[in-house]
């Protein structure tokens, strides 16, 4: 499938594969971007998925998405794929977000991790290894 008919919002690369986040889903190319396949296995039944941001992190592809269930009902969430987009899983967050429009990844040195462990009041995080929420170094096999 070509992405010429949709608005692409984000790209990321992992393991020689290119991922595109668009206003109608997440796509993967294994041929350098010549063709793309829509990959939404594991997402809840929906009428649309907006993929606002993608990043590769700790062996996963991570996506900030809005999943539309109906014209008036949506889920803003982070989904991740440990198998290059073959299956997706919703990440557990300590809050119910009203919007998730970006995900990012960075390596954090150990002294900074120790500081963040003491400084951040997000102990309710059910996934304390997510950097954006708790200052950890990598994403687990959520």
- Domains of the chain: which residue ranges? 3-106
Q: Kindly report, residue by residue over 105-134, the tens digit of the pLDDT.
A: 555 555 555 555 555 443 333 333 343 333
C-alpha 122/C-alpha 10 separation (Å) is: 28
C-alpha 98/C-alpha 100 separation (Å) is: 7
C-alpha 109/C-alpha 73 separation (Å) is: 40
pLDDT band at 141 (very low <50, low <70, confident <90, very high): very low
Q: Kindly report, residue by residue over 35-79, the tens digit of the pLDDT.
A: 999 999 999 999 999 999 999 988 899 999 999 999 999 999 999
């Amino acid at each position: 499938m070509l992405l010429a008919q949709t608005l692409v919002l984000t790209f990321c690369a992992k393991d020689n594969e290119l991922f595109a986040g668009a206003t109608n889903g997440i796509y993967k190319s294994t041929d350098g971007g010549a063709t793309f396949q829509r990959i939404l296995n594991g997402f809840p039944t929906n009428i649309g998925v907006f993929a606002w941001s993608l990043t590769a992190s700790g062996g996963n592809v991570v996506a900030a998405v809005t999943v539309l269930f109906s014209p008036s009902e949506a889920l803003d969430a982070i989904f991740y794929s440990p198998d290059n987009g073959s299956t997706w899983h919703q990440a557990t967050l300590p809050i119910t977000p009203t919007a998730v429009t970006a995900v990012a990844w960075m390596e954090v040195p150990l002294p900074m991790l120790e500081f963040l462990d003491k400084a951040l009041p997000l102990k309710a995080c059910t996934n304390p290894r997510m950097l954006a929420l708790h200052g950890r170094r990598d994403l687990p096999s959520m």
